Chain A
Amino acid sequence: MGGGSDAAPRRSRHHDAVSTSTVLVILGTFLASAVEMVEALTIVLGVGIVRGWRSTLIGVGAALIVLAALVAALGPALSVVPIETLRLIVGALLLAFGLQWLRKAILRSSGYTPLHDEDAAFRRHREEAAKAGRDERAGLDWYSFTVAFKGVLLEGLEVVFIVISFGSAQNKIGLAAAGAAAAFVLVVGAGVLARGPLEQVPENTIKYAVGLLLTSFGCFWGAEGAGVDWPGDELSLLGVIAFIGASSFMLVRVLRRRRVAPAPVEAPA
């Protein structure tokens, strides 16, 4: 009897925890995908508006085919890896990847690196597209094709990496993909309506949140894959997010105080 009364709260807590992690997986993939897609959209718009849409859109399509092939190849391949091993590998990769995002976000927030300016990036892409010479290959404007292809492929690779790592470690690839798909619909829809770069999107804040989520998920899964039994089960993920979040905010405050003079540098792409 006693076991039964112990089991009920355990089930309830686990159910709550599963809901929490599900929400965080969708939120993480949605936000990460949205910022990458905003950057890809800026590149595509910058080239397409100046040089025409046919070759640009063929470049986008070719990149999407390569990305879809990657997902189709990697998704089933990962399903044969034992979940503990998968979480250790995915956790380690997410940690390394997420800490890069968080580090850059802290440097931006503390003023050591300039904030990313989507409008400035758009103007730069337009200028470069206007200056580039005409090179016809396979009936395509080769500049438009290659810039759109590379832009979408490189930004898309990060989306694929996040969707596959989040989805496979939590055994929720469908939900992770749904988060990315929602971001795609929203960003492309907003881009078509605005007919310009989405400079109103609070990209730097979103990147901070994504860096925090990637690092926290990487920490949680990496430790679990190494054999750790988290106190509070999956609810401790919220504790990890709170701890790393609070520490990173403290780092921002310390760096802001330490900064002597901001360096006025041109924002990177």
Chain B
Amino acid sequence: MKYIRSFALFWWNFIVGDDWRVAAGLAVALGLTYLLTHEGVNAWWLLPVAIVLLLAGSLWRETRRAS
């Protein structure tokens, strides 16, 4: 059980990292992009904008903690 836990924790840290909200936001942005494109909207702009907003939000939270 300890090894399974360590293994899962390793992959969580490897993929998700310090801020799970960024990973969750990316999943939502990708899902929205998928839905919009399959509704006929070529939403190429959505993901780059979402990335910058998620990054800014994560940095704001981190630096507010550090200040």
Contact = CB atoms under 8 A, between A and B. Distances in A.
Q: Are the chains A and B members of one assembly?
A: yes
Interface residues of B, number: 32
Contacts of A96: 15-17, 22-23, 26
Contacts, number: 103
A1 B10 CA distance: 59
A229 B59 contact: no
B23 A260 contact: no
A255 B62 CA distance: 11
B27 interface: yes
Interface residues of A, number: 40
A95 interface: yes
Contact of B51 (A112, A227, A244): A244
Contacts of A263: 66
A118 B14 CA distance: 22
Chain B facing A: main interface SS: helix
B35 to A, nearest CB: 9
A100 B63 contact: no
27 contacts: A91-B30, A92-B26, A95-B51, A96-B15, A99-B17, A103-B18, A103-B22, A103-B59, A106-B55, A107-B62, A110-B63, A112-B63, A112-B66, A157-B14, A219-B48, A223-B43, A226-B33, A226-B37, A227-B33, A230-B44, A240-B48, A244-B48, A244-B51, A247-B52, A251-B55, A258-B63, A259-B63
Interface of A: 88, 91-93, 95-97, 99-100, 102-103, 106-107, 110, 112, 157-158, 161, 215, 219, 222-223, 226-231, 236, 240, 243-244, 247-248, 251, 255, 258-260, 263
